[in-house]
Amino acid sequence: MDRLACVNLPALPLQLLLRRHPEWAIHPVAVIAEDRPQGFICYMNAAAHKAGVRPGLRYAAGCSLAADLRAGVVSPAEIDEAVQAIIEQLRRFTPEVEPSVEEPGIFWLNGTGLTRLYPSYEVWARLIVTDLNGTGFRATVMVGFTRFGTYAVTRAHDGTSAARLIKPVVFDNPADERAAARRVQLEYLEIDPDLRDTLAKLGVTTVGAFLALPVGGLLTRFGEAAYRLHRMASGELWTPLQPLKPQEPIRQRLLLDDPETDAMRLLFRLKGLLHPLLKALAIRGEALAGLTLRLQLDGGEQHEEQIRPAAPTLDPVQLLDLIRLRLETVELPDGVIEIELEASSILALAEQHRLIAERPRRDLETANRALARIRATFGDEAVGRVRLADGHLPEASFRWEPLNQVISSEPDNKSQGLGGALETRNSKLETKERSLVRRIFTKPVPLRLPPKGGVTSPLLHGPYIVSGGWWGRETHRDYYFAETRRGELLWVYHDPNRRYWFLHGTVE
């Protein structure tokens, strides 16, 4: 008899957000659809749930329930990338893996015949959980016989308790699986909330009670979704496993007769490899998002370069230009005897939609190509931006991160409707008044008061006290805005522990 396993990574977008911000784990955390006060809450952790935060609430309402609520957006692209990585991880245990189209984080695995490789299905499932936990994911694994049975029981065991996550469930016969599935509460399943609430009013709260309803009037009274759920739970609607076939990476390789040291001749060789590589991507309906260039040297070493265009593309001229810029900066100790190109890609459909969109007055595509040329010349870390961080001290309140592409800073008024138009109009009115900007130094500069320029105590505005670090090295700073006789506005602080003044920035 065929064996089927269901792997559940509960609230996968929330897990991705916590992997991005592990320091948030002790706080209420929620995933929001949009990074604005009116954005809807999609997922939340146990601390936020305990505070009353629920899916469907707006972010502002969630903050009123949990004052220290942390929230962030997890893009569909980030979820898709994580799903693909998890699929590759699960293929270590079985070649046939099917991800759920409707629920990110649900996977079905074919376990038939694996007892020749593993002592038991319990060991197999435990190894899967351990491997996923090792990469920072919480997961539950159920091994049974049917798609719906394993899914329902897995959803009922997706709690946050570590003990419940480590121990998988293995059913020895279909009858045990059916009995366990019938006991599952409907609230654990990903069904329409209105349908679930309506059934609850009728006293139908479990899968077994739902299956006891007469199927004849189910479609008429509750609609297609309820009817399909009933057919799936009863086994009438049976769908075989539809695993994704792994796609081999697209590579092009060339062996050289003699070691090559000239960059222009290498570029000519690479041009011959790039065109068939892009043609293979076009046949798949994909566009190149990244290019790995591997050069095997005559001395036995291998040199590797990562090249990323500004946006996914199939334009060979743009890619050759980036390769040329990168090769001009590379110094190789020996000649090249073998060249290999490997493409990383995404579906070209997203690129096509982007080209159809209305072009802004600022040519972002040209800007992104310019940044790509800078990265190709000076390395990926040459282009970055500042991102706000949860740091107590001013110098720890931001961090540098790589800038992949420039995006428009203007709000989408068409999608926001009247509210977006009002916000845009108000923001334009506010820009008539010149705002002060505080420039923070990378490292505070020791300062003697009064400095040159004549700062006297009546021209010190403050103090604004920053203190903390009692858990380690205690910090206490008394910040002031200091005006000089030349009209400069300095941002200074006094450290009572060190008994010294420091200049931390200027105000413009």
Q: What is the DSSP string of 148-211?
A: HHHHHHHHHT--S-HHHHHS-EE-SSHHHHHHHHHTSBGGGS---HHHHHHHHHTT--BHHHHH
pLDDT at 357 over 80: no
Residue 224 has pLDDT above 50, yes or no: yes
What three-state secondary structure class fits 306? strand
Which carries the bigger pLDDT value, residue 457 or residue 323?
323
Tell me the helices (H) and strands (E) count for the chain, helix number first. Answer: 17, 19
Confidence at 458, pLDDT banded by 50, 70, 90 = very low
Residue 493 confidence (pLDDT) above 60: yes
Express as a percent the part of the chain with pLDDT over 90: 41
76-117 pLDDT, tens per residue? 888 988 998 999 999 999 999 999 988 999 999 999 989 889
Residue 502 β-bridge partners: 446, 493
Mean pLDDT of the 288-296 span: 92
User: Is residue 118's pLDDT more than 80?
Assistant: yes
SS3 475: strand
Q: pLDDT class for 306, splitting at 50, 70, 90?
A: very high
Task: Quote the pLDDT of residue 104.
Answer: 92
pLDDT at 162 over 60: no
pTM of the model: 0.58
Is the predicted pLDDT of residue 315 greater than 70, yes or no? yes
Q: What is the pLDDT confidence band of residue 355, given thresholds at 50, 70 and 90? A: very low
- Of residues 391 and 377, more confidence is placed in 377
Return the H-helix or E-strand segment holding 346. strand 336-347
Query: DSSP for 73-109?
Result: ---HHHHHHHHHHHHHHHTTT-S-EEE-SSSTTEEEE
DSSP states of 370-426 as a string? HHHHHHHHH-GGGSEEEEE---SSGGGSEEEEE-------S--HHHHHHHHHHHHHH
CB 358 within 8 A of CB 309: no
271-275, 280-284, 360-364: which range is least confident on average?
360-364
What is the DSSP secondary structure assignment for residue 35, as one 8-state letter? S
pLDDT, tens only, 12-25: 999 999 999 999 99
pLDDT above 70: residue 169: yes
Residue 167 clears pLDDT 90, i.e. is over it:
no
pLDDT at res. 485: 78
Per-residue pLDDT band at 235 (split at 50, 70, 90): confident
Confidence of residue 311 (pLDDT cuts 50, 70, 90): confident
Q: pLDDT of 27-60, one tens digit each?
A: 999 999 998 889 999 999 999 999 999 988 999 9
What pLDDT does residue 466 have?
84
Instruction: State the pairing for strand pair 29-32/41-44.
Output: antiparallel
Q: How confident is the model at residue 457 (pLDDT cuts 50, 70, 90)?
A: very low
| Structure tokens that stand for 399 in this block | 């961090």
- The fraction of the chain above a pLDDT of 70, given in percent, is 85
| pLDDT score, position 461 | 82
Q: What is the pLDDT of residue 361?
A: 55
Residue 435: predicted pLDDT: 60
For residue 190, the Cα-to-chain-centroid distance in whole angstroms is 22
Give 362's pLDDT tier (boundaries 50, 70, 90): low
In this prediction, residues 290-314 reach a mean pLDDT of: 90
Mean pLDDT of 403-428: 50
Arithmetic mean of pLDDT, 273-295 = 90
- Give the pLDDT of residue 482: 86
Cα 59 to Cα 30: distance, rounded to the nearest angstrom: 9
Average pLDDT of the chain is 83
For residue 431, is pLDDT > 60? no
Question: For residues 185 and 200, what is the distance between their CA atoms, to the nearest angstrom?
Answer: 10
